[in-house]
Amino acid sequence: MNLDLVNQVTKTYLLKAVGSEAARLRFLAGVWEIQSHIDSTDRPYQAPSVEDARQALAVGKPLFCLSAPTVSVAEYADAVAQIARYTSEMAGLEVEQAEALRNADFTAVIDEERLAAAVTSPEAFVAEAASQLGARSDTPLTPATIAFVLVSALVPFLTGPSRIALEALGESKRHAGRTGRCPVCGAAASMGRMGESTQLQGAERVLWCGMCHAEWGYERLRCVRCGSRNPDKLRYTHLEEDPAHRVHLCDECHGYARFVFVDDLGMPVAMIVEDAIAATLDAVALELGYTATGDGGKSPC
């Protein structure tokens, strides 16, 4: 993670942000700083060979299915403790919620087998952990809180290996977008960007993975969720006051994906920050009857 860029972009948004939006950005800036520190540690990772990587790409198999990073249980447990402590103190939780988070025994749900599975199936890992910890939406400790802590702690262990794995694709990463799923870890694309093409050698649209931060080229006229190319079924919409952030709607599958239009943005882009800013578009899409469809936590391997 380029923390300097992230901080620069965050500060720019904070110049106009007010109220809960500003508080959320300031809170996330602290999370990103913790993640950046964890990511900065050089951990060994053996990427698949170029030939194996390209063969996997041809059949839509994520690279982590060929060569998954090994996450240290001790290091991950420490990362979870950091994120949980910071969240309990800085997320503006109710007193009972903060106390429940501080008292949650995350070590009881972290072991080598579960952590290995979490690399390619974090949804299943989170669901099992939330169940074991007794998290429910009607209790101070909610599944959403558990998911935020566990996923936020996992991300920085995947970003380094993801960068290395993508190098195995070479020029092929420009055409990695056979589906809207990450070619590295298999997660559904969190969002994308339009209008900036230098990094991926002319790709018109670039998708971004919020789990491992991989980026890959994707066709301009294609649904990110179902792959439809029917122009009569695809359209963008946005909030009147923010044309730079748009949601791409598909009337074939009623799915959606969020995008930042770089030319309209007029400032440097840090996708992790844009993902946070574009979160308001989720409500827009849901109100219109569209959903961010996925695979329900199944492992892509």
| Domains recognised in the chain with CATH numbers | 41-168 (no CATH), 174-301 (3.90.1670.10)
Classify 134 in phi/psi space as left (phi over 0), alpha (psi -120 to 50) or beta.
Answer: left
The DSSP letter of residue 255 is: B
pLDDT at 166: 86
pLDDT (tens digit per residue) in 192-211: 999 864 454 444 789 999 99
Q: According to the model, what pLDDT value does residue 130 have?
A: 96
What letter would DSSP give residue 222? S
> Taking the CB of residue 29, how many other CB atoms lie within 10 A of it?
18
- Beta carbons of 263 and 85 less than 8 angstroms apart: no
If one compares 100 and 219, the residue with the highest pLDDT of the two is: 100
Q: Which amino acid is at 136?
A: R
pLDDT on residue 293: 67
Is the confidence at residue 297, as pLDDT, over 60?
no
Please count the CA atoms within 13 angstroms of the CA of 250 that sit on its side-chain side: 20
Entry pTM: 0.91
* Mean pLDDT computed over every residue of the chain: 90
pLDDT band at 176 (very low <50, low <70, confident <90, very high): low
* Helix, strand, coil percent values for the chain (each to nearest 5): 50, 10, 40
